[in-house]
Amino acid sequence: MADQEMSEVPMALPELTEADIESIASLTAHLASSPYDYQSHLTHISLLRRGGPALADELKSARESLHAYFPLTEQQWLEWLSDAKATMTVEEENVHVLELYERAVQDFLSVQLWEEYMDFVQERHWNYVNAPENQLAELFSDALVAKVYEDAVRATQYHVAASSQIWKRYIEWKQGQLESSLMSVADVRKLYLDRLAIPHLDLEGTFSNYSSFVSKYLEADYEVELVAANTIVANTRRLLHAREPFETSLKQSGNSAEAFAEYIHFEFTRREHEIPELRKALYERTMAAHPFSAGIWDEYVLYLIEVEGSVQELVPLLERSVRTCPWSGDLWGHYIRTLERLHAPEEEIEKIKDRAFSTGLLKSSLTETIKVHQAWIGFIKRDCEDWASDEGLEVYKEIKAASKDTLRSFKEKDPAHTLDYLEISIITLLNKPEKARDLFSLIARRGSSKLASFWLRYADWERRHGSLQHAREVYKGACLRPLDDVERVLEAWMTLEEEAGGVEDLERCLVMARKARKVDAARKAKEYAQFQAQVSAGAPVAVEAVGTLVEEAPVLPAGAAQAAVPIDNKRKLEQESSKASAPEPAPKKAKTDETQPQRDREHLTILVQNLPSAITDTRVRQFFRECGTVKSIQLTSTSDSSTAFVEFEAKEDVLMALTRNGRELEGKSIEIKEACGTTLWITNFPPLADEKWMRQTFGQFGEVVDVRFPSLTVNQHRRFCYLQMSGPGEAHAAVEALDGKELAELGEEGKGRLVVKISDPGKKVGRSGAMYEGREIYVTNVDFAADESTLKEFFGKYGTVEQVRLMPTKVPGRHRGAAFVIFGGREEAEKALGADGEKLLTRVLKVEKSEADPRKRVANAAPNRSERRAAQRGEGEGDGEGGQRITVEKKAAMVAHADMPPPPSKSEIRGKTLGVMNVAQTVNDAKLRALFEPFGSLRRVNLIPEHGGAVVEFDAVADAGKATMALEGAELSGRHIRIGTYEELMREPMLEKPAEAGMAASTKTMPRVMLPPQSVMRPMAARGRGRGRVGLGFVGGRSGIPVAVANKARAAGTQGGEQKTEVKKPLGNAAFREMFTKSSGPAAKKDPQDEAKQGEDGDTNGFRRISNLGSCKPRSNCVYSLKC
């Protein structure tokens, strides 16, 4: 039978042992009483699969049991379907497999499941189409095939990365129906145009297929159709290019949670191009990759609540969410409130509440339990129509009893008093104010008396439901207590008196405020003095305490260290303090400890070893969820086990995680220890070194887990990186072998020694060198005739001059009139500052202290216009003061450079200047020079990291053209760069600066990589903003007009005796290459007449972006000197 031939052969599994059989029986009994034990379900199914056909029924029952409580992942469904198809013995079992496919595609978005579903239905349709007598022929009909294909496209069409797999099969099937007249050409055309408007990675392939479709079925309207489609594709391409880096990041990171988070953040920052369907598809992809992340489910639900018009559409999503994450109180709360908005019966809502508590997964978290109970009580509160009747009192008693039952199993109390405040709101509806006040007093005694937020809530309740006098008493009682924020309470009290009180009430409030501020200042002064004493004694101080005390440290005048000073105006007191020669005021929080790092990865990361080899980062995150906030996870796996680096947000989280050492995770006893000593700080490596070089160099000592280069957005001259090894031993071995090693020994050019240290932010030291030691001065307005010896002699009177560096220009032997002078000591450099205003040769010098300003150290700039004019005149900027003339020797030295060529025009500069886009923030100018210099001499290379690119200027226009054609789409540090104009580069969106002190993520975690350029296709869509189509068969320029249309227009325009203009046939790629080779050789020269025509033509772009040879149009005034 055909079905048997297509059946899949299951993978060979090891046979069951007696211990396995006992485990199956034990798990069966356990799951009967604990059906929400997900891990036991997986173990149960794994053992039953090994039982083979003998346990097929039990395996099917176990899978059905798991699916009754949890959705299945893509891999679990694929295994189930594979087993079901492999064990089919009769044709009727096709119906069961069909039902499995229908259920499988409902759990999570899976392109692979939809593909298999389409395969299964299509194959069965082919089997039975010629056998109408078969019972299954009616089931697997054309209508079923059409339904499955339509559903597959509808579910996956906004999956940017993989939707083309479904679409290609779908459009093939649709075009096949054209032959049988089941589809019209207009219907297929509309399908194509709708598809071209959706960003997907194979956009160019879709456009090419549409071109073939039009040429076959709409040949008469080919030009018109392609122009209309080109307009759609131009906009879609911009949307796709913005998303390609994130798609590549997902692919390279294995669909990591961090990459998805970056992608989602990007989608919500592009309000001008908001596409809700793309956002929904991205959420679905995230949930499919990380199904047990309750946070992403909650975020998706909140997004749909914000944008969806129909509440009914939320119910299926919420049902999926609580089945996947039944431990999330937020999701159960959303479910209850959504049913309430739909006016569902109370019985139905109560079933959801009971179902949430019946899972048993909420018992481990008081916070999650309270969220569900809060939603339920809120519903009952809003559902009661008459609180003044006996019904209201009965409802209150019912809520009171339910709250006690819910909280009875928890030893700890709710720190936020959520249920207590709910009870107060109900007591208020029952008109029992005294009972509400008693409950407020109880909350205060339970630990809220120091919280300003509690007293503000209490006073607000008194103002709305009690009396103004009671509200005043609440404010007065609060101000006498040591509050966390007394100013908020005082401000609210003053607002009350100004709005509703009399003048006497306001005066009494001001008197009380003055007393409260004095008491508060005295308390803070005492606490700060105790803190200072602890620090001086070297005693350990909690991190939270350090931040609070320093932030709130009062500024005291001289001689009043023990006095209580109100801090009404902190800035004013600081000024008075400085005038009275008081000790320095306490620094701000950020400056408490200058060596304290902003993000201390090294001391907030743990090393987890002996993990199961198939473990996922989601499972690791779940394991450490109760320990604290997990910031990142780096997971590496081998055939036997896995190792993970888990970074937490606080040191306390690390200490809590260490207590889990030795616990079992999926049957393996894991080992947890601090990851100190695994991260290397590396500097002074070759300028062209990238992540690949680092991994090759350090991989010989062990596995390299991660490489992090700094972003150059903050400082373009940074050259260091962090490299994390798999263990402390490997890291120390790398330090011993490579620290201080000559670069030449590593096979690299240049001098210097590699620096490799164990990273320890607490031991960070300041920069060293002449500038940082105060021994360097910066001198400007230096006479062009002066040289290094002149400056050394001039400044020698102030001390020992170690070095003089004149800032050079591109003109050999010339300098820019600026220099750095280094002295032997700081005192000598400070004396030299007195030379400011002194005259050297013909110019008055400007001398200042050298500072870390990268702009003063740019050494690749061309001479400016004044320098050129001065050189051509043979003098400096004038004859000197008092008519003093320049000596013959000086004049001769300057005239030597008077024959410099005139400055180039703007059009020439644009013609040889490239805007390089999609450049990673970790790429330096050395890497760019190495990439572009093989094509010709470079004039300058400037990084523009804020726009994700760089400016590269060649000395010759033809070199820029060669580089453009050769490097479009070339890979640089994990990204495929794009070549355009400077204007196009500056139109790129501004990039956000990295949050962590300028450190950019590794290209492995978040590379903004563009896809490689597509092969040459005809026709091609427009590639630039506002630029018409320039493919073969189209007239050049910016109009985007097809040749046929242009010929008709020109023919019409020449009537009346005017001479007709002949349209030349465009040349092919081979002829273009040949003429480019000839014209770009040494003998090629630019025709002045062509240059003049270029100006008349108005093409000021200087060159066109050329993504392939076939897209350049022939023109006589080509800026590349291509005589096409």
Least confident of 581-590, 720-729, 797-806, 1060-1069: 581-590
Distance CA 363, CA 415 (A): 17
Least confident of 536-550, 938-952, 1010-1024, 1045-1059: 1010-1024
More confident residue, 932 or 893: 932
User: Which residues lie below 8 Å from residue 262, measured CB to CB, with a gap of 6+?
Assistant: 246, 249, 1006
Distance CA 641, CA 611 (A): 5
- Give the containing element (helix H, strand E) for 457: helix 452-465
pLDDT for position 902: 62
Mean pLDDT for the chain overall: 77
pLDDT for position 558: 35
Per-residue pLDDT averaged across 317-344, rounded?
Answer: 93
Distance CA 99, CA 120 (A): 12
Per-residue pLDDT averaged across 290-313, rounded?
Answer: 86
What share of the chain in percent tops pLDDT 70? 75
Q: Distance between terminal CA atoms of the chain?
A: 65
780-819 pLDDT per residue, tens: 999 988 999 999 999 998 999 999 999 888 677 788 899 9
Question: What DSSP character marks residue 446?
Answer: I
User: Which residues lie below 8 Å from residue 767, measured CB to CB, with a gap of 6+?
Assistant: 852
470-516 pLDDT per residue, tens: 999 999 988 888 888 888 999 999 999 999 889 998 999 999 999 88
Distance CA 751, CA 804 (A): 21
More confident residue, 722 or 771: 722
Per-residue pLDDT averaged across 57-86, rounded?
Answer: 92
Per-residue pLDDT averaged across 604-611, rounded?
Answer: 86
937-948 pLDDT per residue, tens: 888 888 888 888
Q: Which tokens belong to 808?
A: 């050079």
> How far out from the chain centre does Cα 129 lie?
51
Residue 180, exposed/middle/buried by CB under 10 A (0-12, 13-18, 19+)? Answer: exposed
Q: 869 pLDDT exceeds 80?
A: no
Distance CA 486, CA 480 (A): 9
1033-1088 pLDDT per residue, tens: 444 443 444 444 444 444 444 444 444 434 444 444 455 445 444 444 444 444 44
Strand intervals (E) in 473-538: none
Most confident of 420-429, 584-593, 847-856: 420-429
- How does residue 11 score in pLDDT terms, banded at 50, 70 and 90? very low
pLDDT for position 561: 34
Give the count of alpha carbons within 13 A of 1086, CB side only.
16
Q: 94 pLDDT exceeds 80?
A: yes
- How does residue 750 score in pLDDT terms, banded at 50, 70 and 90? low
- How does residue 413 score in pLDDT terms, banded at 50, 70 and 90? confident
Beta bridge partners of 848: 778
Q: 759 pLDDT exceeds 90?
A: no
Per-residue pLDDT averaged across 752-773, rounded?
Answer: 76
Least confident of 434-438, 746-750, 950-954, 1053-1057: 1053-1057
Most confident of 268-277, 337-346, 1041-1050: 337-346
Phi, psi (rounded to 5 degrees) for 858? -75, 120
pLDDT for position 1059: 42
Coil, helix or strand at residue 518:
helix
> How far out from the chain centre does Cα 681 lie?
24
Distance CA 362, CA 385 (A): 31
- How does residue 306 score in pLDDT terms, banded at 50, 70 and 90? confident
354-363 pLDDT per residue, tens: 999 888 888 8
Please check whether residue 761 is in contact with residue 597, taking contact to mean a CB–CB distance below 8 angstroms: yes
What share of the chain in percent tops pLDDT 90? 28
Q: Which tokens belong to 617?
A: 């980062």
Per-residue pLDDT averaged across 393-415, rounded?
Answer: 81
Please check whether residue 1005 is in contact with residue 994, taking contact to mean a CB–CB distance below 8 angstroms: no
More confident residue, 1117 or 74: 74
